[in-house]
Structure 1
Amino acid sequence: MASVRDGLFFTLPEPLPVGRHKLSADHVGAAQRERLLAACCELMAAHGYRGFGIGDVARRARVSLGAFYRCFDGKDACVFAGYDRFIEVLIARLTGLDVEGMSRPRIAAELVDTYLDVMQQDVVVARAFQVEIDALGAPARERRRTSLTLLARYLQELAGGEDDDLPWSAYLGGVYAVRQLAVDALDEEPRPDLSRLGADLRPWLEDLFRVR
């Protein structure tokens, strides 16, 4: 089973010492929680949401069931905590771009390239939280709408300016389209070439976001 990339979305702690130690309860709890988040993500990417249970998560994270329940109320709580981390890291990477002086098409292309690059860096996390998360139903869809709307608003603020000639639907539709194409690539191929997808999208982005 493939593992998450350490240090991008999740930072995997060193194995906890066996027996008596001087680590605080908070330190131990935080380490166990991080391992559980990563393990849950790996299992969901490999088997889908319905293909594993809490016991599988605990075993992969090498913690007890008691430790799991000290960190999370249940399986869904663990999945959504991981998803929230995924969105937090992704948005931080996108909003950290320096786009001063760029044209509107270039800004859109830079944001898309960054999004796809982050997905490419950790395909396990991307597959779990872009493809398999849909099995969680309405709560997952609500989180997705919120995050995609936030990204579209950010793109509009960066690229639109005071004399914006594009409707809101152009920004939102562009974000949704790129996300769906990435999802399809992740769903169809074990190791998709998302950088090539970004290159293929550039002519479309340049036309969609050109100044009228």
Structure 2
Amino acid sequence: MTTVASARTRLAAGTSDDVGAFRQRLLDGLAGSIVEVGYRNTTVAEIVRRARTSRRTFYEHFSDKEACFVTLLTDSNAETVRQISAAVDPGAPWASQVRQAVEAWIASAESAPAITLSWIRDVPALGAPARRLQRDMMEAFIVMIQTLCDTEEWRAAGAGPVSRQLTVLLLGGLRELIATTVEDGGQISDVTEVAVQASIALLGPRG
């Protein structure tokens, strides 16, 4: 016999699934609009039109367009960090690990170039929550790189650990390279080799 408690449990689970589905539809709506018209020209009305939902539903999930944007980029960057970390074989030669990481990063960026460019160009001009996101995501990438470079393979080659300052320089350069490539109408994958060689030069053994 179905109990009241079990029915409530199923209802709660269903409600949670519905909330997650609506949230994802709104994020997908924002992402689609950024691809078509850019973040600055995107409106809440456009987001809900693409999500096939209502403004009321939007404001049940997000306080405004910027909050939705911050969530989209938070999810996107967390997935990028996960993909890069998973792509690196810690037992491979250190230079091969650099290539694996760079290729994974570029593949992730190339899968959504408009979102990547919006992250690099639009976030700095937004409010405090977006600036906190920028710092938080930069910190996530710094920690990831320092962790990947702090292994026996790297130490044996005289290449690790890597300082925070050097990591910031590397990240800033790669981000700007990707942004200008997209703005100029190029393919992000076109810069793979120069990105790999620059990363090897910065992160490699120090004489």
**C-alpha displacement of 1:131:** 3.3
Task: Provide the residue aligned with 1:89 in structure 2.
Answer: 79
User: Is contact 1:104-1:209 (8 Å) kept?
Assistant: no
Aligned to 1:51, the other structure's residue is in SS state coil
Identity between Structure 1 and Structure 2 (%) = 19
Query: Where is the helix percentage greater, Structure 1 or Structure 2?
Result: 2
1:138-169 CA distances to partner (integer Å, 9 max, x unpaired)? 43233223222322232223224456375432
**C-alpha displacement of 1:208:** 2.1
User: In structure 2, what residue type is equivalent to 1:173?
Assistant: L
C-alpha RMSD over aligned residues = 2.4
Q: Which has the higher contact order (CA 8 A, sep 6+)?
A: 1
Given candidates 117, 136, 140, the residue that maps to 1:146 is 136
Aligned to 1:96, the other structure's residue is in SS state helix
Q: Give the TM-score normalised by structure 1.
A: 0.76
Distance 2:134 2:143 in 1: 14
1:1-47 CA distances to partner (integer Å, 9 max, x unpaired)? xxxxxxxxxxxxxxxxxxxxxx9443333222111101112223433
Task: Provide the residue aligned with 2:171 in structure 1.
Answer: 175
Aligned to 1:46, the other structure's residue is in SS state helix
- Bigger Rg over Cα: 2
Q: Greater CA deviation, 37-46 or 154-163?
A: 154-163
Give yes or no for the alignment of 1:39 onto 2:23: no
Corresponding pairs, count? 188
Distance 1:152 1:63 in 2: 38
Structure 1, gaps ≥5 residues long: 1-22
Aligned to 1:196, the other structure's residue is in SS state helix
Change (3 A) 1:39 1:128: farther
Task: Provide the residue aligned with 1:205 in structure 2.
Answer: 199
Aligned to 2:90, the other structure's residue is in SS state coil
Distance 2:201 2:100 in 1: 15
Q: Give the TM-score normalised by structure 2.
A: 0.78
Matches within 5 A, 1:1-212: 24-161=14-151, 164=160, 167-189=163-185, 192-212=186-206
1:107-165 CA distances to partner (integer Å, 9 max, x unpaired)? 22221111111111222432333333333244323322322232223222322445637
